[in-house]
Amino acid sequence: MIERTIAESARIGADFVDVRINERTGTRVSVQDGRADEIYSSRAFGAGIRVLIDGMWGFASTNILERDELLSCLKDAASMARASKGRALEKGEVAEVPAFRGKARTQVRRDPREVGVEEKVKAVFELEKAARTLDPRVVNTVLGYGETVSKETVANTYGLYVENESLRTLASCFVAAKEGEVRQTAVEIRGGLRGFELLEQLEPEGFSVRAARKALGLLGAERAPAGKFPVMFDPAVTGLFVHEAIGHNAEADGVWAGESILEGKVGQQIAAEGVSIFDDATVEGAYGSYAYDSEGVRGQKKCLVEKGVLQGFMHSLETAKKFGVTPNGSARAEGHQSKPIVRMSNTYISPGDWRLDEIIKDTKEGILLKGGYWGYVFVERGQFTCNAEEAWMVRNGEVKEHLRNVSVSGLTLEALKEIDAVSKDFELKLPGMCGKGGQAMYIDAGGPYLRVRQLVVGGQR
């Protein structure tokens, strides 16, 4: 069906066509306050067709996977490309990739499709119960488990044909605790390109009970101060920082469009010498890993920054052609209704040579942030914001008062140069979804503990 559609594309005068067929099935079990009150099943499928005619892109999608419908979708895509004919000052183009047939499938220990829903509910219930019954001040617990199997088949006019089946599982635990008028929450999330073993291997103490203890601990936390401080990140906040501050700026579509502060800076020192940054789609079992991207190019490990010097960007077929480089497999689409755009996979800072206790001891006054909640960046100005789950004051080399959830803000090119301590630790600790251009995509991020000499802390004192 796909190959017939590709063959037909020669007749419409397209310079390039790719067809993606996506099928995605999923199950989600949620136990809240002792009850598995909703179980969710999804079944999504469809095709997305992209054509390039006279330098203009057209895209169309359909949920109906039949030959005639795909041909009709191809015509729609062609008419979309022609709708803006003559408007391109700069034509769309793609790097040519060799004809290639590829096939990949996530290897897991236990395929969740072969596990009954009852067993999933039981496992989730036990984890939730451990958090719920820990302390009477725990007032709300939500333990969610979800699995998604995505099959993506990509073919293009260069003769590429790739089938990729990815299986991801994710478990999250949300806990709210309350004492008097004070209410606090905490979360723990684990996710990977893994099977049901992810859930089976979770121990309450290191997961749901840990979330509950964090929420309970935060009941006594103080409001953070406001102003400029040296700030230390745990691996999760490091992940959030590297994802927001540098990762989005290193997506080549934004760079080409003139929207990134990294435009024209390849080869320049943009970060402190101790900072090396990678985006790596090949980390085994990581949530952001993939065998092939949505253009059928192998997922790869890309060095973005080496010893502080900007090395290059993440690319799609189109940006690779425009920058004159080899495609590095970074174009991903949320599903058949979206076009592939340049995305991160697992983004991290490499470990350094400090120990965390040395960093703390070396800090006269600063704030240690733990747990990455959310973040965003305006890439054109490089202004980023990272929100952390909890924090501590560090005074005279010692960890002191526990602080509530707080955000920090900085300017990418300043902050990267002000990283003055990078620890030996390493953890990817941010499995989840990243949003860009209306599409959500699986990513992970992390790294070591690190210290930035100065960031703005948005506290209330």
Partner 1 sequence: MVDLLSLARSACEAAVREGIEQAEAYAQESKRIEADVEKGMIKSCNVVRDQGLSVRAFKDGGRGFAYTMRLSVEEAVEAARRAASLAKVAHKDPDFKTLPTPRSAQRVEGLFDRRLAELDAGQAVEWAALGIDTAKAAARDAVVAGGSGFSVGRAALVNSLGVAVEETATSVGLGIFSIVKHGEDVGSYSEFDSARRLDDFNPEPVGRKASEQALRLLGAKKVHTGTLPVIFGPLAADGLLYALCSAANAESVQRNRSFLAGWKGRQVASELVTIVDNGVYPAGLASGAYDGEGVPRGETMVVDRGVLKTYLHNSYTANKVGEANTGHAARPGYRGGVGIGPTNLRPRLGDWTSGEIICETAEGLYVSMAGLSPNAATGDISGSVDFGFKIEKGEIAYPVKNTMVGVNIIDLFKSIDAVSKDYREEPGIIMPTFRAQNVRVAGGA
* Joined tokens for residue 159: 């003769």
Query: Is residue 92 involved in binding partner 1 (CB under 8 A)?
Result: yes
Nearer to partner 1, 291 or 457 (CB): 457
Task: Tell which positions 16-35 bind partner 1, by CB under 8 A.
Answer: 31-33, 35
Alpha helices per DSSP H over 112-243:
117-132, 197-200, 208-218, 235-241
Instruction: Please pick, from the candidates 4, 83, 268, 395, the single residue that binds partner 1 as defined by CB under 8 A.
Output: 83
442 belongs to the binding site for partner 1 (CB under 8 A): no
Please report, in angstroms and rounded to a whole number, the separation of the first and last CA atoms in the chain: 63
Cβ-Cβ contacts under 8 Å for 77 (sequence gap 6 or more)? 17, 49, 50, 51, 58, 59, 60
Site for partner 1 in 173-232 (CB under 8 A): 176, 178, 181-185, 223-224, 226-228
| Closest distance to partner 1 from the beta carbon of 423 (Å) | 25
- Strands (E) across 245-397 are located at 277-280, 301-306, 309-310, 331-332, 341-342, 346-349, 365-378, 383-395
d(CA 208, CA 171): 10
DSSP string of 57-98, one letter each residue: EEEEEES--SHHHHHHHHHHHHHHHHHTTT--SS--------
Binding segment for partner 1 (CB under 8 A), chosen from 98-106, 258-266, 271-279, 294-302, is 258-266
Pair of tokens at residue 244? 């927001």
Residue 59 found at the interface with partner 1 (CB under 8 A): yes
> Of the candidates 13, 40, 103, 267, which one interacts with partner 1 according to CB under 8 A?
40
Phi, psi dihedrals of residue 394, rounded to the nearest 5°: -115, 125
Beta carbon of residue 98, minimum distance to partner 1 (angstroms, whole number): 26
Q: How far is the CB of 184 from partner 1 (least distance, A)?
A: 6
The residue type of 5 is T
Of 79-87, 95-103, 152-160, 440-448: span binding partner 1 (CB under 8 A): 79-87
Handedness of CA 305, 247, 193, 161 (dihedral sign): negative
Under the binding rule (CB under 8 A), the answer on residue 440 touching partner 1 is no
Stretch that binds partner 1, among 126-134, 160-168, 362-370, 405-413 (CB under 8 A): 405-413
Cβ nearer to partner 1, comparing 323 with 426: 323
CB of 335 to partner 1, least distance (A): 10
Residues 135-174 that bind partner 1 (CB under 8 A): 139-140
List 6, 18, 21, 57, residue binding partner 1 (CB under 8 A): 57
Q: Which residues contact 88 (CB under 8 A, 6 or more apart)?
A: 54, 55, 56
Cβ neighbors of 181 (< 8 A, separation 6 or more) are none
Residues of this chain, 271-330, that bind partner 1 according to CB under 8 A: none
Task: Choose one: 56-64, 104-112, 161-169, 343-351; the region binding partner 1 (CB under 8 A).
Answer: 56-64
108 binds partner 1 (CB under 8 A): no
What's the number of CA atoms in the CB half-sphere (13 Å) around residue 275? 28
Which of 245, 233, 206 shows the shortest CA–CA distance to 389? 233
Residues 358-387 that bind partner 1 (CB under 8 A): 376, 378, 380-381, 383, 385, 387
Q: Indicate whether 133 belongs to the interface with partner 1 (CB under 8 A).
A: no
